[in-house]
Chain A
Amino acid sequence: MIAVIDYGMGNLRSISKAIAYVGGDVLVTRDPEKIRKAERLVLPGVGAFGQGIANLRSFGLIPVLEEEILLKKKPLWGICLGMQLLATSSEEFGRHAGLNWIPADVKRFEFSESARLNVPHVGWNSVRFSKNHPVTGSVKQADFYFVHSYYVRLKNDDLTVGTCDYGGGFTACFARDNIFATQFHPEKSQETGLEMLGNFCRWKPC
């Protein structure tokens, strides 16, 4: 069973039905017992970083997630805000500490006026996967749907799996051991996103 962590941030319906569509047995939950029983986890989320961390904390989810993901090494996919929350800290609406599972900072896109680039970065952009990963599978380059104003800057670039270009390259996908994360929304990225979700359902990190 795949548990989609419900911590009150964003559209959980889309991700759960996308997982179901590719054949995953999915449950949207914030119940620690159910999270313990799950075989893999998805940390989704759209919204503000500070609110996201506050919600994880107030629902008492951080200890169980640490246990299941860091100790028991269950596969995790962090999506959008769920990717950013894995980082050390964020500068969104003030400075907030993240889960700090992956050494990284969450930065706001800053462009010069002459770049004429909008923030937020909304829409379809191309991601190039520079590394093989069981979840990306045969996808080497494809368009994915993004909607965000902040991005993850890794301390260790070796974790980058996929890069997107928006006024310069940023990490659209990283992975370490049993943790996989994307800034884009697989559940909104039509066939390529669904293909990757299918891969995630079968992923067995060693």
Chain B
Amino acid sequence: MLKKRIIPSLLLKDNRMVKSVRFGGFRDTGHPLTAARIYDAQRVDELLVLDIFASRERRGMRSEIVAQISEECFMPLCVGGGIRSIEDMRILLSKGADKVLINTGAVECERLIGEAARAFGSSTVVVSVDVRRRPASGLKSGMEGEYEVFVRGGAEATGLDPVLWSRTAQELGAGEIFLTSIDRDGTMSGLDIALIRSIVDSVSIPVIASGGVGTLDDFRIGMEEGGASAVSAASIFHFTDQSPIKARKYLVDRGVNVRS
């Protein structure tokens, strides 16, 4: 049976690793390569590496770190940040990425999803969806739902509904959805289960849920109640004494279908 995945994420700012709260207030959390080595030694299911400033600074992802991590680690590596073209993806894949994550690039040019799926296979293409809960006063007429997709590191509203956008991404060829609640990011206050459920129930591709994991039970809730195929987290591993090993053990003990 297919296992649910625990996916630590590494956020890059310049050549350091950082962690945000609601996509801002960055704290330095060390060197990404050191962290990747530790996660590799802990046999994590997969690692996500995100150059979170690439889109904001309108540049491509710095690929050297991907090469460095891939040089030493034998775990699946998903990378993203500032990807705009098939060529960007080709470079990252040649440096050792297994999957590429596109966000702003996909919203601004939907065609990119299909082109990427044809070039590299759907299963290589992860569409990242950053979602913020819209304040009541911000509701535009004719728009339904209370959530909205944001791009450029959460800085730019798109007017897109997360459910409809996720479905579109799937139809265009996305192999997975990486779903982040901006409101919960770094708060460690729990995943937004209603948001996760709404996407999981609307697409047939795997959904990786992120934003808000603060306890080991949040992984279980995301997987069992949210129905996510994977839960991604960072703060809990950086700022508490929890580790992917402890998370795995916690979940196995509770009968959640993860690797033991």
Chain A positions near chain B (C-beta within 8 angstroms): 10-14, 17-18, 21, 46-48, 51, 81, 93, 117-126, 143, 145-149, 165-166, 185, 187-191, 193-194
Q: Which single member of B4, B70, B206, B259 contacts A14 (CB below 8 Å)?
A: B70
What separation, in Å, do the CA atoms of A10 and B121 have in the docked complex?
9
The answer to whether A147 and B123 have CB atoms under 8 Å apart is yes
Closest Cβ–Cβ distance, residue B120 to chain A (whole Å): 5
Closest Cβ–Cβ distance, residue A151 to chain B (whole Å): 12
User: Is B19 interfacial (CB-CB < 8 Å)?
Assistant: no
The answer to whether B45 and A118 have CB atoms under 8 Å apart is no
User: Is B230 interfacial (CB-CB < 8 Å)?
Assistant: yes
What separation, in Å, do the CA atoms of A157 and B176 have in the docked complex?
31
Residues of A within 8 A of B75 (CB): 188, 190
Residues A47 and B120 in contact in the complex (CB < 8 Å), given A123-B229, A124-B2: yes
Closest Cβ–Cβ distance, residue A3 to chain B (whole Å): 18
The answer to whether A21 and B97 have CB atoms under 8 Å apart is no
CB contacts under 8 Å to A, within B79-113, are: 93-99
Q: Could you show 30 A-B contacts with beta carbons less than 8 Å apart?
A: A10-B120, A13-B94, A14-B77, A18-B74, A21-B74, A46-B121, A46-B123, A46-B124, A47-B121, A48-B121, A81-B121, A93-B118, A118-B204, A119-B204, A119-B205, A120-B122, A120-B176, A122-B123, A122-B176, A122-B229, A123-B230, A124-B3, A124-B259, A143-B259, A145-B46, A145-B76, A148-B121, A149-B122, A190-B43, A191-B43
What separation, in Å, do the CA atoms of A187 and B96 have in the docked complex?
11
| Per-residue A-contact encoding for B52-72, CB less than 8 Å = 1, 0 else | 000000000000000100110
Residues of B within 8 A of A48 (CB): 117-121
Chain B positions near chain A (C-beta within 8 angstroms): 1-5, 43, 45-46, 67, 70-71, 74-77, 93-99, 117-124, 175-176, 204-206, 229-230, 259
Closest Cβ–Cβ distance, residue A149 to chain B (whole Å): 6
Report, nearest first, the 9 A-B pairs whose CB atoms are least far apart.
A120-B123, A47-B121, A13-B96, A118-B206, A124-B3, A147-B123, A125-B2, A188-B76, A120-B175
The answer to whether B96 and A51 have CB atoms under 8 Å apart is no
Residues of A within 8 A of B97 (CB): 11
The answer to whether B118 and A149 have CB atoms under 8 Å apart is no
What separation, in Å, do the CA atoms of A63 and B185 have in the docked complex?
53
Residues A10 and B124 in contact in the complex (CB < 8 Å), given A147-B98, A194-B74: yes
Interface centre among A12, A118, A148 (most CB of B within 10 A): A118
When C-beta atoms are compared, the residue in chain B nearest to A93 turns out to be B118
What separation, in Å, do the CA atoms of A189 and B73 have in the docked complex?
11
What separation, in Å, do the CA atoms of A12 and B94 have in the docked complex?
7
